[in-house]
């Protein structure tokens, strides 16, 4: 699907899509600071994992194993019978969460109504979400770019990985097989061919992993606010096309967007994934709260329905 860009009004958006590393390098410090600010405004509670480990809550007693340190013995419980027991705590150091911010050329688009470009919003929310997850004991990574880490400096590590990435920036995450308990969050405009999206979801779900598809779009991509003679440019090599009366295209355009979104919602729903949309004229904190809240609800067994929740 072509990304609408009037040649005169959206010149800045076209320049942002040139893919030059110096542009990203110049904006990353601001994005990192914004991510920290957004994360600091979200209250993050610890969540148990119902496995033995280093959590704060009691989980179970087990028999003492020869060779263990004697200080592990719970002497009060052991005094009740002829065996030694160890008090185990609930495990709160969770499984891996893979985050994928789409950094392809189409994500650089920003209309006058947007607060940020799609790329800037995806990076800010990715960094902020990683910070919250690590604070809760998670390990966070970027597929094909950064191994899972629980470092307290996770934002800086992610920013450096993105900054020094010289590979072609694909819209969708690379093919990989996450563990069965892993979660995957893909932040993209998802203007990719349906076959590519289905293949990605099938591959990521094959091991039992689950996750969220978050479609980040510019307000202009929702409403098609164009009229008169407009040149539309596809930033990923799809060429350009000129409309003599752009307003006559609005009905067909919105119908195609609705059909494409229905496909995304259906494919996510088949696999039990969450799907939602977010426009860049809304706040990053709102999106972060939605993503974090949806992940916590899903872990707690609450019903989460795909929809426009972000």
Q: Rounded mean pLDDT of 230-241?
A: 76
What integer pLDDT is reported at residue 15 of this predicted model? 44
Residue 88 · residue 57 · CB < 8 Å: no
Among candidate residues 267, 99, 125, the one with its CA nearest the CA of residue 184: 99
Q: Which of 168-182, 261-275, 294-308 has the largest mean confidence?
A: 261-275
Check pLDDT > 80 for residue 187: yes
Reported as a pLDDT band with limits 50, 70 and 90, residue 9 is very low
| Cβ-Cβ contacts under 8 Å for 128 (sequence gap 6 or more) | 35, 36, 38, 39, 42, 155, 284, 288
Grade residue 145 by pLDDT with cuts at 50, 70 and 90: very high
Domain locations in the chain as residue ranges: 11-47+94-299, 52-90
Q: What is the CATH number of domain 11-47+94-299?
A: 3.40.50
Pairing of strands 96-101, 183-188: parallel
Q: Kindly indicate the confidence band of residue 239, based on its pLDDT and cuts at 50, 70 and 90.
A: confident
pLDDT of amino acid 188: 97
Higher per-residue confidence, 236 vs 204: 204
Contact indicator for 59, 89 with CB cutoff of 8 Å:
yes
Which tokens sit at 270? 């088949």
Beta strand spans in 219-302 (E): 230-234, 239-243, 274-279
pLDDT greater at residue 56 or residue 274? 274
Residue 246: pLDDT band by 50, 70, 90 thresholds? confident
pLDDT tens digits for 196-225? Answer: 999 999 999 988 888 999 999 999 999 988
Nearest to 212 by CA among 106, 116, 113, 287: 287
C-alpha to C-alpha distance for 31 and 126, rounded to whole angstroms = 10
Give residue-wise pLDDT tens across range 281-305: 999 988 988 888 888 777 664 333 3
- pLDDT above 90 (res 62): no
pLDDT at 49: 47
- Give CA–CA dist 119/4, Å, rounded: 16
Name every residue whose Cβ is closer than 8 Å to that of residue 291 and which is 6 or more positions away in sequence.
Answer: 125, 129, 185, 212, 214, 310
The reported pLDDT for the residue numbered 56 is: 52
- CA torsion sign, 136 to 139 to 142 to 143? negative
The b-or-e profile of 20-45 (16+ CB within 10 A means b, else e) is eeeebeebbeebbebbeebbeebeee
User: Which of 136 and 93 is assigned the larger pLDDT?
Assistant: 136
């Amino acid at each position: 699907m072509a990304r609408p860009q009037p040649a005169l009004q959206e010149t800045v958006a076209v320049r942002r899509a040139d893919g030059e590393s110096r542009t990203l390098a110049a904006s990353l410090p601001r994005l990192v600071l914004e991510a920290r600010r957004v994360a600091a405004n979200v209250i993050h509670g610890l969540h148990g994992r119902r496995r033995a480990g280093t959590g704060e809550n009691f989980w179970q007693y087990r028999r003492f194993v020869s060779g263990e340190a004697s200080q592990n013995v719970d002497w009060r419980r052991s005094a009740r019978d002829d065996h030694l027991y160890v008090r185990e705590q609930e495990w709160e150091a969770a499984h891996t969460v893979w985050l994928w911010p789409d950094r392809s050329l189409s994500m650089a688009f920003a209309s006058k109504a947007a607060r940020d470009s799609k790329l800037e919003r995806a990076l800010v929310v990715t960094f902020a979400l990683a910070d919250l997850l690590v604070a809760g004991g998670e390990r966070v990574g970027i597929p094909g770019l950064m191994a899972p880490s629980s470092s307290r400096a996770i934002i800086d590590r992610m920013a450096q990985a993105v900054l020094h990435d010289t590979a072609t920036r694909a819209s969708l995450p690379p093919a990989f097989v996450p563990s069965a308990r892993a979660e995957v969050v893909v932040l993209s405009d998802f203007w990719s061919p349906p076959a590519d999206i289905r293949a990605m979801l099938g591959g990521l779900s094959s091991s039992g992993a689950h996750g969220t598809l978050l479609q980040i779009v510019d307000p202009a991509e929702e409403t098609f606010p164009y009229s008169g003679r407009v040149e539309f440019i596809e930033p990923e090599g799809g060429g350009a096309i000129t409309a003599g009366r752009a307003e006559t295209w609005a009905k067909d355009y919105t119908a195609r967007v609705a059909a494409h979104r229905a496909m995304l919602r259906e494919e996510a729903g088949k696999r039990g994934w969450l799907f939602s949309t977010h426009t860049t004229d809304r706040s990053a904190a709102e999106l972060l709260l939605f993503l974090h809240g949806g992940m916590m609800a899903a872990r707690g067994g609450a019903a989460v329905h795909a929809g426009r929740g972000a």
